[in-house]
Structure 1
Amino acid sequence: MRLPRASGILLHPTSLPGPHGSGDLGIEARKFIDWLAASGQSLWQILPLGGIGPGNSPYMSSSAFAGNVLLIDLAELQAQGWLPADLTPDPGFSAGSTNFAAVVPWRMARLNEAALNFTLGASSAARQAYADFCAAQTDWLDDYALFMALADHYGGQDWCDWPAPLARREPAALAEARIAHAERIHFWKFCQCAFFRQWHALKAYTNSKGIQIIGDAPIFIAYQSAEVWARPELFELDATGKPEVVAGVPPDAFSTEGQRWGNPLYRWPAHAAENYAWWITRIRRTFELVDIVRIDHFRGFVDYWEIPASEPNAIKGRWLPGPGAALFEAIDAALGPQKIIAEDLGILTPAVDALRQQFRLPGMRILHFAFGGDNKNAYLPHNYSPDTVVYTGTHDNDTTRGWWHEISEIERQHVRDYLACSGDDIHWSLIRAACASVADTAIHPMQDVLGLGGEARMNFPGKSEGYWQWRFDWAQLQPRHGELLLRFSELYRR
């Protein structure tokens, strides 16, 4: 489905300013939306909204359906009367980054307090809203809350190492666990109720300003997740529940060992046997949260790289066929045409592009990949087709100023010649090129709007520690930033 000609900003909510250690769904998010609207932007792209996993990555969540409880606005819980007036920040908090080691225990302690106070003194209206939420979300929430309660109880052990009756989900063991861990189950349900209430309020505010939200659906989910535990037959696991093979991508120009992501792979014949019902539910639920969905690693639906779980890297693997058109035919039949962006990056084949075009899904182009080669490079703007989403770089790339510092002089000269620029304000030169292109959609990382260097990079693929931490501060934002974005939007009909 073609998207209207528009532009927007890539910024995950954790990167928002705020006093409580990381960005959240509170007043600073609304202030950011106001700034987007004033700057002529009509899109806000985020990363996955699920909880963080190893390395603090939002792409390794403990659930494909639950929200990240660390994003809950504590001030709203305070206004409900469930938290005390004093929410003094931890001394370990930083305005420029998320110190997860300090943020996670501090926020979780206050969520625990709020859940207890809700139990002791919530109004009848709040209790009814909570009951209604639990009833409406029971298809995933019951398994998720029990899974999280058990994960807490067993100290983060992989679920396959829990007592066998629980790992195998024997009904009697599950019933006993629901009684034994009722308080903790309530905690996780309370948190999800708060997250969804706040997120839907924020989304309504965002849409009221004429801005649509682009969400992110990772192709794979974490092994240590409620869905893999609840539906192990849908994943390539052995008889004990452990992965036999895992996901990743093979070696390329960026990584000599490839990338071993470690996610369990799908047992696609099992999904096909139920007409991809699990995937249909996942896409439907994602569209309840956002307006447009970017599906990560689209290439993996055509064929995917299978790595033996025993391998330490991604070198020894093989390509196997994915579900291809059958999956998207099932999604279209159940949900109708949807606004889906295909993340068609990486090692591509004609079959990948054919699948994308068959279902009329916009693809992605990254300006950082455009220079240093010949004029046929698909990432150069003169080679774009309108059904394209163009980025200076994504969350997986360096910032534009960081990239400019690292590339060769040959590439720099190509940029200067192609864009007729000096390179002094390279981030604005690339933002302008994106806006001027024929691509229907242009997305600019907030780091590039602010002109930040490599220290503000959000992620480095293949590196498991030290990323996902960057936050901006309002002091960094100058009037000219919004003025330039507005000017480009007007100049190039965005």
Structure 2
Amino acid sequence: MPNPPTSKNFGYKQRQAGVVLHITSLPQESSQTAGCLDQNAWRFIDWMERAQLKIWQMLPLNAPHDDLSPYSALSAFAMNPRFLPAGWKSDFEKEFEGSTDAFETYLNSPPHWLEDFALFMALREHFEHRAWNEWPEAYKYRDSSALEIFKAAHQIQLLEIKQQQFWLSHLWQALKTYANQKAITLFGDMPIFIAYDSADVWANPENFKLDQSLNPTVVAGVPPDYFSETGQRWGNPHYDWEKMEKDNFSWWHLRIEHALSQLDVLRIDHFRGLEASWEIQADEETAMNGVWEKVPGERLLQSLQESMPNMPLVAEDLGIITPEVVALKEAFDLPGMAVLQFGFNGLPDNPHALDEQVENSVVYSGTHDNDTTMGWFESLEPGAQNWIWSQLESTHKELEQVGVDVQMPWPLIMAGLKSVPNWFIAPMQDWLALGAESRMNTPGTIENNWNWQLQEGQLTEELADKIATLIQSTGRS
């Protein structure tokens, strides 16, 4: 087994509390269709500071497809252009007072992914947003002559795409610095798999299990589970792990290092996929039929640990978790997850139950894939509700003592704040006590997801002070 990291360098050992809020869920300005990196992002950090929330967790920062899911992105590296505020070009010009030296430096030493991403996006627009495997063969198979001719004819468009990524990086680093100065940790999320229709697969098809026509032979998902009776057929291509291991997982090193240049801590979504992944034949319509294929996750993590001994990683270890997955997580001393909404089935050895949680874990009231705590509780039968109230009885008195409402979701939040894990995090919807209408995502569905946003006036000083009172009373300040 590998040598575990000697210490965590991201404040994990401190008892703290945080919030899940994606960038697009920030309040929007009148000219924006979604939240972005405008003044509202900085205001949110100020509000967090008053509430004594020290962890801002967000969904993947990458550019999504038209369904807006950040877990199926057009690039594993490029940031979402929707994060750009209206009028960003004039802001760019004001920042550099007419000088573009910084941008020129960026272009002279660009990120390794930038050229392929810009070309991919320009081609995608040229071919009316069709997936790259539907492009003419010269572009699908990356004929060098055809690509050079296309570049020459679309120089201005390619330059603007690159400028967008430069400015996004500039804004993000400014936001990160501001948050870190206030001792707030930026906690991001990285899906294991990437979308087939992405710059990464188009530019590096050899890294994936594709046939001679560059179509996936097998796709990713999970078998039937809590969220879906037929499983979840995500459709992502599987990695050719044998090929990736031959160059010591260089693509993974680049991906993790890039993510950690933007974030303080990174959650590996679907961590169990680093031990074994569910492979579904590409022609299967559901995820019910598939096989677990072993993955060299231990060797990958060992390689990553050699370049960053104190890996600031958290394992999303939900779903079908085997002893082998647990052993892999523990071998590298990675915190796992517990979700309070899963903790009240009364079954023994439930890792989400309050009396089964461990310190080396991040506990959530719910995740972006769960209903809000209010929505979840209201959907339960009266008997189940009564059982949960009985399990949370002690929190009622403590809430009354600090003058906080004893109705849901506050008893569950209080239980999470009092729990053993060092980090407790709740979605913003739970801190606001919102119902099912404010759910972020329903797994297995493709409509009405990823759209929830904060409204002006919801981030009140009164709410911040209430949260701060709870955090102080539970020793998480």
TM-score by length of 2: 0.92
- Superposition pairs of residues 251-330 of structure 1, within 5 angstroms: 251-330=224-303
Cα gap change, 1:123/1:481 in structure 2, threshold over 3 Å: closer, same or farther?
closer
Q: Distance in 2 between matches of 1:384 and 1:483?
A: 28
**What's the counterpart of residue 358 of structure 2?**
385
Q: Does 1:5 align with 2:5?
A: no
Is this contact kept in 1: 2:92–2:167, CA < 8 A? no
Q: Distance in 1 between matches of 2:266 and 2:288?
A: 31
Q: Distance in 2 between matches of 1:158 and 1:478?
A: 44
1:80 Cα deviation after fit: 4.3
- Where 1:305 maps in the other structure, the secondary structure is strand
Is this contact kept in 2: 1:372–1:414, CA < 8 A? no
1:358 Cα deviation after fit: 0.3
Per mean C-alpha deviation after superposition, the further-off stretch among 429-438 and 174-183 is: 174-183
**What's the counterpart of residue 349 of structure 1?**
322
C-alpha RMSD of the superposition: 1.8
Q: Distance in 2 between matches of 1:284 and 1:44?
A: 20
Q: Distance in 2 between matches of 1:440 and 1:192?
A: 35
Among 419, 436, 442, which residue is 2:424 paired with? 442
Q: Does 1:433 align with 2:443?
A: no
1:78 Cα deviation after fit: 3.5
CA deviation string 1:118-163 (max 9, x = no partner): 9xxx8552x2111222233341101110111111111112212222
Q: Distance in 2 between matches of 1:252 and 1:212?
A: 32
Among 470, 475, 479, which residue is 2:452 paired with? 470
Is this contact kept in 2: 1:134–1:141, CA < 8 A? no
Cα gap change, 1:253/1:49 in structure 2, threshold over 3 Å: closer, same or farther?
closer
- Superposition pairs of residues 234-245 of structure 1, within 5 angstroms: 234-245=207-218
Q: Distance in 2 between matches of 1:35 and 1:214?
A: 17
Q: Does 1:37 align with 2:19?
A: no
CA deviation string 1:43-98 (max 9, x = no partner): 1000000011242101111101100000012255444458xxxxxxxxxxxxxxxx
- Where 1:243 maps in the other structure, the secondary structure is coil
**What's the counterpart of residue 419 of structure 1?**
392
Letter in 1 for 2:21: L
CA deviation string 1:399-425 (max 9, x = no partner): 000000112333312211111067952
Letter in 1 for 2:428: M
- Superposition pairs of residues 331-350 of structure 1, within 5 angstroms: 331-350=304-323
**What's the counterpart of residue 433 of structure 2?**
451
- Where 2:172 maps in the other structure, the secondary structure is helix
Q: Does 1:64 align with 2:46?
A: no
Is this contact kept in 2: 1:26–1:75, CA < 8 A? no
Letter in 2 for 1:16: L
Is this contact kept in 1: 2:209–2:240, CA < 8 A? yes
**What's the counterpart of residue 226 of structure 1?**
199
Among 42, 52, 60, which residue is 1:48 paired with? 60
Q: Distance in 1 between matches of 2:288 and 2:56?
A: 36
Per mean C-alpha deviation after superposition, the further-off stretch among 175-184 and 312-321 is: 175-184
**What's the counterpart of residue 86 of structure 2?**
74
1:375 Cα deviation after fit: 4.8
Is this contact kept in 1: 2:273–2:295, CA < 8 A? yes
Aligned residues: percent identity?
Answer: 40
Is this contact kept in 2: 1:54–1:60, CA < 8 A? no
Letter in 2 for 1:464: I
Q: Distance in 2 between matches of 1:137 and 1:405?
A: 51
Is this contact kept in 2: 1:397–1:457, CA < 8 A? yes
1:336 Cα deviation after fit: 2.4
- Where 2:106 maps in the other structure, the secondary structure is helix
Is this contact kept in 2: 1:50–1:62, CA < 8 A? yes
**What's the counterpart of residue 170 of structure 1?**
143
**What's the counterpart of residue 146 of structure 1?**
119
**What's the counterpart of residue 491 of structure 1?**
473
Letter in 1 for 2:68: N
1:264 Cα deviation after fit: 0.8
Is this contact kept in 1: 2:206–2:240, CA < 8 A? yes
Q: Distance in 2 between matches of 1:237 and 1:50?
A: 23
Q: Distance in 1 between matches of 2:244 and 2:307?
A: 15
Is this contact kept in 2: 1:284–1:335, CA < 8 A? no
CA deviation string 1:281-326 (max 9, x = no partner): 1000000000000010001111111111111111121111112201
Unaligned 5+ residue runs, structure 1? 83-117
Q: Distance in 1 between matches of 2:376 and 2:108?
A: 49
Q: Distance in 2 between matches of 1:449 and 1:474?
A: 15
Is this contact kept in 2: 1:401–1:451, CA < 8 A? yes
Q: Distance in 1 between matches of 2:179 and 2:367?
A: 22
- Where 1:476 maps in the other structure, the secondary structure is coil
